[in-house]
Amino acid sequence: MFCAVIELAASTRSLTIYSIKPILSLLLLSKILESLLTQFSHLEHA
């Protein structure tokens, strides 16, 4: 019983890592794109 709980916890933790990683990378990409867009808009206005 206890071993099953530990295995379940380990599998859910790896699943959360797998689901969190792409979300974090997407956020990072959006931040980079946002900064690039702001730089381009500043260049156009200058």
Residue 26's pLDDT band, with cuts at 50, 70 and 90, is: very high
Is pLDDT larger for residue 43 or for residue 7? 7
What are the contacts of 13-21 at 24+ separation with CB within 8 A?
Answer: none
- pLDDT reading at 30 higher than 90: yes
What is the DSSP code string of 3-15?
Answer: HHHHHHHHHHHHH
For the chain, what are the domain ranges?
A: 4-45
- pLDDT reading at 46 higher than 90: no
CA dist 46 and 33 (Å) reads 20
- pLDDT reading at 6 higher than 90: no
What number of CA atoms fall less than 13 Å from residue 16's CA on the CB side? Answer: 6
Helix (H) or strand (E) holding 19: helix 2-45
Is 1 in a helix, a strand, or coil?
coil
Q: Across the chain, what does the average pLDDT equal?
A: 89
pTM for the whole structure: 0.56
Residue 44's pLDDT band, with cuts at 50, 70 and 90, is: confident
